[in-house]
Amino acid sequence: MSAASGFGPNPWQQTSWDWRAAGNFICGGAGTGLLLASALFGAPTPASLRSPDWLVFAGLALVGLGLLCVWLEIGRPLRALHVFLNPQTSWMTREAFVGLVLFPAGLAAMLGLSGWNWITAALAMVFLYCQSRMLPAARGIPAWRSALMSPLFMVTGLCEGCGLFLLFGIFHARSSNTAMLLLLMVLVLRLLVWRRYRRSVDQGLAARARGALDLAGHRLLFVGTAVPVIALVTGWLLGGPAQPLLAALAGACAAWAGATVKYTLVTRASFNQGFALAKMPVRGVRTGP
């Protein structure tokens, strides 16, 4: 049976999850990372406390956009409430339950209520963890079932969130050397986790999946790591008005590379392993005793 048939011993690409599923992982990871960065690097200045914290709003909006992508992906959107029926086995169900609590908590944090920014950040990390466990649960796809997939998604979400925080720093004036240092650290950590992940899945990949991951890896290395690191270090050395601009450049590259990796994993590297047949049956040839 040919590979083109999409059924047989040769790997075929799954079609159940497309760009909408990738959008959930991209937006959800970036949004939760931004909520954490917003909590870590301080509240708005006293002069701006009269208005809601728009960074928290942006993080919640990204998470909501990701969930909207999931809703659009469902074949029968009116049955979307069925996602809440399997908390014992489904990480998507657990993500949905956490989302129900995350949005009210984020609203309280956005309005400046004391302590709610940390509660929101904690819920955001639980939401991100639930997301990170979804792909490894699909055991039939070699690029997804690595034990390193969950750490990769976690650190990528942190990179995206810190990157967006620095990108928006041109407007909120809350960027700092600490935020830049954290981004630098998670950038290096993401690259290390990616390389270990890449080695762990290489043997089981289809040729097209391997090519897609190689391309994503090159983009992650150069655009997603080298350029941001150079921009951050240059920003520290130059200081002054150039620093927030270079930090914003680093953040944009970090977030873009994370989105590229997730899109590749979900849509381009998602080849099934095919049937594991020890012997291929051939018409007219006796294979048994």
Q: What is the mean pLDDT of residues 50-56?
A: 73
Q: State in Å, rounded, how far the first CA of the chain is from the last one.
A: 24
List 13's β-bridge partners, or say none.
Answer: 271
pLDDT band at 70 (very low <50, low <70, confident <90, very high): confident
- Looking at residue 37, its pLDDT comes to 93
- Looking at residue 10, its pLDDT comes to 72
Residue 109 CB contacts under 8 Å (≥ 6 apart), including other chains: 39, 53, 56, 116, 117, 119, 120
User: Which domains are seen in the chain, by residue range?
Assistant: 15-268 (1.20.1630.10)
Where do the DSSP E strands lie in the chain?
none
- Looking at residue 285, its pLDDT comes to 64
Q: What average pLDDT does the chain have? A: 86
- Looking at residue 86, its pLDDT comes to 74
Q: What is the mean pLDDT of residues 271-289?
A: 65
- Looking at residue 261, its pLDDT comes to 97
- Looking at residue 27, its pLDDT comes to 96
Sign of the alpha-carbon dihedral angle for 158, 161, 166, 172: negative
Is the overall model pTM greater than 0.75, yes or no? yes
- Kindly state the helix (H) or strand (E) to which residue 103 belongs, with its residue range: helix 91-110
Residue type, 181: L
- For the cut 70, the answer to whether the pLDDT of residue 36 exceeds it is yes
pLDDT band at 4 (very low <50, low <70, confident <90, very high): very low
- Looking at residue 35, its pLDDT comes to 95
How many whole angstroms separate alpha carbon 128 and alpha carbon 27? 11
pLDDT band at 1 (very low <50, low <70, confident <90, very high): very low
List 271's β-bridge partners, or say none.
Answer: 13
How many whole angstroms separate alpha carbon 179 and alpha carbon 191? 19
The conformational region for residue 274 under phi > 0 = left, psi -120 to 50 = alpha, else beta, is left
Q: How do residues 163-216 score in pLDDT, each as one tens digit?
A: 999 999 888 877 889 999 999 999 999 999 999 999 999 988 889 999 999 999
Q: Are 270 and 165 in contact (CB under 8 A)?
A: no
- Looking at residue 78, its pLDDT comes to 63
String of DSSP letters for 47-85: GGTTS--HHHHHHHHHHHHHHHHHHHHSSSGGGGGGGGG
Residue type, 90: S
Of 159-168, 243-252, 276-285, the poorest mean pLDDT is in 276-285
- Looking at residue 108, its pLDDT comes to 93
- For the cut 70, the answer to whether the pLDDT of residue 82 exceeds it is no
Q: At what angle do helices 116-132 and 149-167 cross, to 10 degrees?
A: 140
Residue type, 258: G
Q: Are 109 and 56 in contact (CB under 8 A)?
A: yes
- Looking at residue 256, its pLDDT comes to 97
The conformational region for residue 115 under phi > 0 = left, psi -120 to 50 = alpha, else beta, is left
